[in-house]
Amino acid sequence: MAPHLKTKTNPHRRVEFGRRDKEHLVLAVDIGGTKVEAALVSQAGKIVLSGRRPMAAKGGASEGLRAVRATIDGVLGRSRGGEIRAIGVSVPGWVDANTGKVLKAANLPCWRDYPLAQKLQDLCDLPTRIANDANAAAMAEARWGAGRRYKSFFYVSLGTGIGTGVVQDTQGSPHTPSSEGGHVTINYRGPLCPCGKRGCIEMYASGKALARRATHLLAQRGARGSLLRTLARESGVNAELVGRAAAGGDRVAVGILEEACDHLTVWLGNIIDLLEPEAIVFGGGLGRLMLSYAPRIRRRLKTFAIRPNRAEIPIVGARFGSQSALLGAAALWLQE
Ligand SMILES: [Zn+2]
């Protein structure tokens, strides 16, 4: 379904379009629990102009919407030239891309079953699409990043949680059906996840899981004298610290990361047998760190997947870092 993109006169918009510069732009909005970032993005995936404001995630629904609107106005107010065709929004949570509703997002308690796309469409008089942030990031990789060379790939955002994007080429255009791969169970007796299920991969290989495991191990005698413990004294335990200690050769930290990777392998083995992706792309704040364990993952995939090419599937790093969801929000429109 190709929506009609042409904009109508918009009384809310303070943009003056230069006659010579008729480049088509998408207004991308990345909404997080603490901040909103908005940007004008060109057809080539270049951020022309951007701005950010605090997000009001814990108040009422209209307060949250006002924070988004203020961020958008801030960017549009500084815009010079180019025709804005549509709005793409990424949200860290469960969304219904078809109806444009935010169903539930842990970091955005202001919205539940909230028709965000419709609200923005009414406010800005521009067609609006929304997507889960990992789905959006996968789209950015498909369009301009590490996934460009592949017809299909599985995108994993490794951060505080685990997000996923299943990218499939549909008649020459990448398509990302919404997915919640971080909540695929790999152990039915595993720890209870905030989503309500047990043993989700997020409970074993996310930043939160690494920090939890490190805290547990540091409380034991065997961790005495470890570099991880020394580092943790200065700044507290987090996933980044585990990475630093592992880089320094700390055995406790290396053990934590190897264990997380082995859990990832079991999960990826299932994904590979189910979807047969051409490649796997690791993104998110911990993407690079986990990518350094790709040889181990590939070796062990021989045990945890049955497709003949399982150990040869490339595992590559994402191109985009902290702005992947923002660019992905734009990619929701620029794919056409
Ligand atoms: Zn879960």
| 193 C-alpha to ligand 1 centroid (Å) | 5
Does residue 284 have a pLDDT over 70? yes
CA of 191 to the centre of ligand 1 (A): 9
How does the average pLDDT of the chain come out, rounded?
Answer: 90
pLDDT at position 334: 79
Q: Look at residue 234 in the predicted model and tell me its pLDDT.
A: 82
Map tokens 């939890």 to a residue.
212
Residue 30 CA to its chain's centroid (Å): 10
248 pLDDT more than 70: yes
How far apart are the CA of 171 and the centre of ligand 1, in A?
Answer: 33
Give distance in angstroms: CA of 183 to centre of ligand 1: 4
Amino acid 22: pLDDT: 58
Task: Report the separation in Å between the CA atom of 198 and the middle of ligand 1, taken as the mean of its atom positions.
Answer: 7
pLDDT in tens, 176-204: 788 889 999 999 999 999 889 999 999 99
What's the whole-model pTM score? Answer: 0.87
Please report which confidence band the pLDDT of residue 24 belongs to, taking 50, 70 and 90 as the band edges.
Answer: confident
**What Å distances lie between residue 325 and 30, 47, 223, 284, 290, CA to CA?**
6, 13, 38, 10, 20
CA distance 271 to 253: 27
Q: Ligand 1 centre from 161 Cα, in Å?
A: 9
Distance in angstroms (rounded) separating the CA atoms of residues 266 and 273:
11
CA 94 / ligand 1 centre spacing (Å): 12
- 216 CA from centroid of ligand 1 (Å): 20
Distance 185 CA to ligand 1 centre (A): 7
- Token representation of residue 64: 């949250």
Alpha helices (H) along the chain: 61-77, 116-124, 133-144, 202-205, 207-218, 227-235, 239-247, 251-275, 287-291, 294-304, 324-334
Least confident residue range of 19-33, 44-58, 91-105, 227-241? 19-33
Comparing 49-53, 227-231, 233-237, the range with the smallest average pLDDT is 233-237
166 CA distance to ligand 1 middle (Å): 18
Ligand 1 centroid to Cα of residue 184, in Å, is 7
Q: Is the pLDDT confidence value at 12 over 60?
A: no
Q: Summarize the confidence of residues 217-231 as an average pLDDT.
A: 87
Q: What is the pLDDT of residue 335?
A: 62
Cα 136 to averaged position of ligand 1 atoms, centre (Å): 20
